[in-house]
Amino acid sequence: MTQVLPKLLTFNEFIEWYPNDGKRYELHKGVIIEMPPPTGSHEKVVGFIAHKLTVEFDRLNLRYTIPKTVSIKTPSAESAYSPDVLLLNLDNLDNEPLFQKQSTVSQAASVPIVIEVVSSNWRDDYYNKLRDYEEMGIPEYWIADYAALGARKFIGNPKQPTIFICELVDGEYQMISFQGNTAISSPTFPQLNLTAQQIFNAAN
């Protein structure tokens, strides 16, 4: 008996399929993934980080925004992600061919920072998305593991809540971890006054 493999979707097929059912979906290497409903703690962390970054780019009078729903299309076009926090550079959106009709960006110049707040599917944030954001050339990627869900090789044994700031250096991410009351060091916002513990506390 011949097993028929499921057809992998292109990005355009995924966009055409996307239902208006209130759920979030991502395309991972051509496969549709329904995102798990976020917990209240997860959403409080997302809101806290978005607020802190908004205050900072507003203080610096930068033409940035944090949209509610924008997808990132990876260079291979096999994946499309909907990050928890996406900092958009408004000045580059005219160069984005998919933004007006499909609310999608595909250029690193449009994304100064992308942030994933870790949930049950933590491997996506630590492996797949890190690799794809790196390949795309996004200069700064945060992994906010407030619930200490990631592997021990990343966050220690016993596991500790950790924020990773991944800075693109010579085409590769350099990961720096922040725990406790350590001040976070953001390459995009070097004067950002924020500690890892403040982010963790936002979940309570």
Confidence of residue 144 (pLDDT cuts 50, 70, 90): very high
Average pLDDT, the chain: 93
Task: Report pLDDT digits (tens) over 80-139.
Answer: 999 999 999 999 999 999 999 999 999 999 999 999 999 888 999 999 999 999 999 999
Task: Report pLDDT digits (tens) over 47-93.
Answer: 999 999 999 999 999 999 999 989 999 987 789 999 999 999 999 99
pLDDT value for 78: 84
Which residues are paired to 25 by β-bridges? 34
Q: What is the mean pLDDT of residues 144-156?
A: 95
CB 2: neighbour CB atoms within 10 A? 4
Percentage of residues of the chain with pLDDT beyond 90: 82
CB 137: neighbour CB atoms within 10 A? 13
Confidence of residue 20 (pLDDT cuts 50, 70, 90): confident
Q: What is the mean pLDDT of residues 146-174?
A: 96
Instruction: For residue 127, count CB atoms less than 10 angstroms from its CB and return exposed for 0-12, middle for 13-18, buried for 19 or more.
Output: exposed
The answer to whether residues 139 and 187 touch, using CB atoms and an 8 Å cutoff, is yes
pLDDT value for 3: 54
Q: What is the mean pLDDT of residues 200-204?
A: 96
pLDDT value for 69: 87
The answer to whether residues 167 and 138 touch, using CB atoms and an 8 Å cutoff, is no
